[in-house]
Amino acid sequence: MQDSLNKNALIFGGASGIGWATACALIESGAMVTIADVRTPSERNGVLRPIRCDVRDAAQVRYAVHSATETAPLDWLVYSTGIQHYGSVVDTPVEEYDLVQSINARGAFLACHEAIPRMRKGSAIVLVSSVQALACQEGVAAYAASKGTLESLTRAIAVDHAKDNIRVNAVLPGTVDTPMVRSSAERFGGTDGLEQTLQQWGENHPLGRVAHADEIARLIAFLLSDKASFITGASYRADGGLLAQLAVRL
């Protein structure tokens, strides 16, 4: 990605999982990357700037954006912050629903609200959604609702800011080997063990496995790059064929 040289990127939720894999991919291609996260990444180098940020706090999001753009406008914005909560609309306490929405969806709004005025013409945004925005399992009402919000937000920003030559797209992963998924596997895996549970979950995908975070990061990097210069307002599934299949078995 030669067009990554000297690019200024900000990744919310970049300390682990898909966000961290994306940070590594962009750094390797020559970008300066700022990570905004409640955690500190385990690795650092000269082109990585970590900022502690709770995306529920508008002031902290504003500070992260302003810090990332002190010396140059922003070229790329990635929102990869998210939490999972399990339960139906009856089982989920209102406070838990509000928490999931505030981190998964409202935080993305805040990030774009602050970042877009400080982005160059020709810049790009990727919001990390989920296949559960389109089709979901049982007991994920809050999570699915938050990811569906990201889908609509992607289209709205794309339309509103096409005149500024700012592109925005969404990435919808299937099951990805991340700390959040591993935490869920430990919760629901029973006596099977973590690795066996991940293997079983992977078998739900036609490709027969869960994704690696760097596989999603490569798609994000492509959508940010000039190679995707005519792509905006789109949603890209990276789900191993999960939503292409019917539940019916012959």
Q: What would the two tokens of residue 98 be? A: 């509000």
**Amino acid in position 87:** G
Q: Say if CB 39 and CB 49 are below 8 A apart.
A: no
The question of whether 143 is a catalytic residue gets the answer yes
The single residue of 63, 79, 97, 143 carrying the catalytic annotation is: 143
DSSP string over 110-156: HHHHHHGGGEEEEEEEEEE--GGGTS--TTBHHHHHHHHHHHHHHHH
CA distances from 143 to 102, 104, 110 (A): 11, 8, 18
**Whether the Cβ atoms of residue 137 and residue 175 lie closer than 8 Å to each other:** no
Amino acid occupying residue 40: T
Contact call for residues 126 and 223 (beta carbons, < 8 A): yes
Phi, psi of 24 (to 5 degrees): -60, -45
d(CA 220, CA 215): 9
The string of DSSP codes covering 13-69 is: T-SSHHHHHHHHHHHHTT-EEEEEESS--S---TTEEEEE--TT-HHHHHHHHHHHT
- What are the catalytic residues? 143
